[in-house]
Structure 1
Amino acid sequence: MELFLESQMVPSLKPALEWILQVAMQNRSRLYPVLQYIDEIFYGMVFVLERHYLKYYDSSFSENFYGLKRIVVTEDGTKGAPLQKKHKLWSLFFLVVVPYIKTKLDKYYEKNFTNPRPGSPPPSDSAKRFFKLVYPYVVAIYEATFFLYQILYMYDYTQYYNPFFHLMGFTVKRQTLPDIEQIERKEKQKRLDRMKQSGFFIQLYNFVSDIFTKTLDYSQTILITTIFFFKFLEWWSQEPRFQQTDTLTPPPPSPPKRAPGGLPIPKEANHCPICNETRTNPCMAISGFVFCYSCLHKYVEENKRCPITFMPMEIDQIRRLYDDQIA
């Protein structure tokens, strides 16, 4: 149970980070482009955290939170060997790089194949067609493999909780009191060694390094508090009794005016201004006027504007309607 919870801990931090950045940039429009790099910012922070906890505690950030540590399984099946530098590098790769790549691939697939823009042609590139065909199966196999390992681990058929642990030859165990005491002894010895060093800049570097290390040590408390605060604000904003219901609804804006040379507005409310026939498959232009979908699609594709107001628009700004009782 703890292993499942720790595997969900880091991904749950990303929505909180996105919310914090959006709130911080509400009145700073020049900083909006930063949101395009939310994945890089998030996984950069994850890299710093994971590197710190692997270096000092032989565990990931979330594993350390639950009092777990990674140990190497030797060739004869015995457990207990500490992590070496290569093990920590591989751990960083699977903790940071692999999730980052998967996030980017998921977004690419969703943008181009799950929710494509209206009117966009099917992929013509053979590589894109292959990706569209294969990627869902790759994701299904990826997730099914993790699920299978978790089931086998739960019933003691394997000592590896996930396939990455199997590839690296790791397993996890609970930290014991001797483990904690050993970490404290190492930290104390490092502080004593740094105190023996002389020179202003060396002392300044050691001071800044100590502050940074202590901040990372307390990052669990900081991040958990942030998540709690984020969830509290999310609940607060969704709770009906805290929402203002007595505010007056502003009047609708006046309809846009017909441009000189624009198509006339039909007298019949259910007629299309382009074909002057009863609308079929109604859709709305950016100006708010309603047309037949085929008529408006063809017109916008050729002219890049609203037929009545000449307001600039693109194909993806056409909105389909499912109630033709709109004038």
Structure 2
Amino acid sequence: MAEHGAHLTSSGVSDASLPSIFEVLAQQSLSATLHPAIGHAVRVFAEKYPERLGVLVRYYDEIYLLFDTLVQSYYLKKHGGSFAENFYDLKRVPSGNVDSSVLSQRLRLRALACLVLIPYIKQKLHSLYEKLLYNMGDSGRRAFLQREASKRQKLKGLYLLCFPYASSAWELLTLIYQLQYMLRHGRWHSPSMHLSGTELRHVSDEDVVENDAVGLFDASWSNMSVRSRLLRLIKLTLNSAAVAMSTSLSVGVFFLQFLEWWYASDSSATSLTALPVPAPPHSEKLKDVPCSCCPLCRRERVNSTALVVSGYVFCYTCINEHVKRHRCCPITGFPATDEQLVKIYEQQL
């Protein structure tokens, strides 16, 4: 049925190798699924081993940026497209020169920047907006109009005011590109694709033949020197490792999509039975520390403050400085931020 629907949009740009809007949206959905799905898997493992894997949660965006850069650069160089595009048998060709099947190094770098940096920057800007909105509230948008506010507060208020409009403008521009592509009045399905200087096309049989691996022992093997043979062995070993990682990633996509669906359905489900409160974790760090003392300074607590992720109570200054410096609970090692500190007002009897 989707194939019949694709023929309804045959006006405008006519090219048999041009992918349909359904294929384009499918590869976009796959690309957008990887980041949260892998992130959930990392959080699951980090909860079991917080002291060892807690750093993966704190710097997940940067670690995923490095991982995504390596994967996408390999696929752009080897297959001429991103991982998600190659998964649906799509490739990139230079804009205005669709007969060329090879991307220059300059176009590969532009495509890599659009594939990796733009989603990373959007994620960071959205996270910053959510953090500022949580700290300043809705009234923070009017901070830049207040004379008594500092320059920093005015900039934060201006960001809170402008970000929703900028985000909506980007989404509207993306929708316009998709509508033009669907009606065959445009060659790009998104602004980032336009910025990359490339277009999407179907993978041809010639591309499959060109991407086949070169045999280890061919006619030139006997004429090679020992150094040339060693270099070829190293190159083929690296290529084999890359192909193995590519295959594993392709197979793992289905598992990650299932994991995301399972996590979404589990988080939205209503619990029918209330689970008992688990016992606090035991630690040798609390040995011989009275309940009324701070586990960090070992003195009587001042301005008692609880850390939400673990439930332990500290002095406010002690835990605030520790969390800002180490980004984790000093007792359990659970990842934590200063937003997860809750002051406790103890009634003096």
State the TM-score, normalizing by the size of structure 2: 0.62
What code does the residue aligned with 1:116 have?
N
Q: Compared with structure 1, are the counterparts of its residues 19 and 84 closer, same or farther at alpha carbon in structure 2 (3 Å cutoff)?
A: same
Contact kept, 8 Å, 2:46 with 2:56, in 1: the verdict is no
Q: Measure the CA separation in 1 of the matches of 2:275 and 2:211.
A: 62
Please tell me whether the aligned partners of residues 69 and 112 of structure 2 are also in contact (alpha carbons under 8 angstroms): yes
SS in structure 2 of the partner of residue 188 of structure 1: coil
User: Is residue 212 of structure 1 aligned with residue 241 of structure 2?
Assistant: yes
Query: Equivalences for 1:40-51 in 2 at 5 Å?
Result: 40-51=62-73
Distance 1:171 1:208 in 2: 32
- 1:61 matches 2:83: yes
In 2 relative to 1, CA 304–4 (structure 1 residues): closer, same or farther, beyond 3 Å? same
Preserved contact between residue 54 and residue 60 of structure 1 (Cα < 8 Å): yes
C-alpha distance in 1, partners of 2:110/2:278? Answer: 60
Pairing 1:160–2:188 present:
yes
Shift of 1:53: 0.8
Runs of at least 5 residues in structure 1 that lack an aligned partner in the other structure: 254-258, 261-302, 320-327
Structure 2 segments unaligned to the other structure (5+ residues) = 1-21, 145-149, 281-290, 293-301, 306-312, 321-338, 345-349
Change beyond 3 A, Cα 1:158–1:24: same
Q: Is 1:116 equivalent to 2:144 in the alignment?
A: no
Pairing 1:188–2:208 present: no
Question: Between Structure 1 and Structure 2, whose CA radius of gyration is higher?
Answer: 1
Shift in Å, 1:194: 8.6
Other-structure match for 2:39 = 18
Shift of the 191–22 alpha-carbon distance from structure 1 to 2, 3 Å rule, reads farther
- Across the two proteins, how many residue pairs are aligned to each other? 261
Moved more, 18-27 or 84-93: 18-27
1:129 to 139, 144, 157: 157
Partner residue of 2:253 out of 208, 216, 224: 224
Q: Is the 1:146–1:162 contact (alpha carbons within 8 Å) kept by the matching residues of 2?
A: yes
**Equivalent residue of 2:254, what SS?**
helix
Partner of 2:342: 317
CA deviation map 1:57-95 (0-9, x unaligned): 111111111111111122xxx522231110000000000
SS at 1:49 equivalent: helix
Quote the residue 2:98 is aligned against.
79
Query: What is the alpha-carbon distance in structure 1 between the residues aligned to residue 225 and residue 122 of structure 2?
Result: 44
Partner of 1:52: 74
Give the CA RMSD over aligned residues.
4.0
Residue 130 of structure 2: SS of its match in structure 1?
A: helix
Residue identity (%): 23
Distance 1:129 1:191, change over 3 A: farther
SS in 1 for 2:91: strand
**1:238, 1:130 → 2: CA distance?**
34
State the secondary structure of the residue aligned to 2:48: coil
Matching residue's letter, 1:218: T
5 Å matches for 1:233-252? Answer: 233-234=262-263, 249=276
Equivalent of 1:148 in 164, 171, 176 = 176
2:28 counterpart residue number: 7
What's the secondary structure of 2:240's corresponding residue? helix
- Stretch moving more, 204-213 or 167-176: 204-213
Supply the distance in 1 between the matched residues of 2:26 and 2:114 (Cα, whole angstroms).
Answer: 18
Contact 1:69 / 1:175 at 8 angstroms: preserved in 2?
A: yes
| Cα separation, partners in 2 of 1:252 and 1:70, compared to 1, 3 Å | closer
Q: 1:234 to 1:128 in 2, by over 3 A?
A: closer
Bigger drift between 205-214 and 147-156 goes to 205-214
State how far apart, in whole Å, the 1-side matches of 2:258 and 2:116 are: 25
Alignment partner of 1:138 is 2:166? yes
Deviations 1:241-267 (A, max 9, x none): xx895x9847999xxxxx99xxxxxxx
Contact 1:16/1:226 (8 A) holds in 2: no
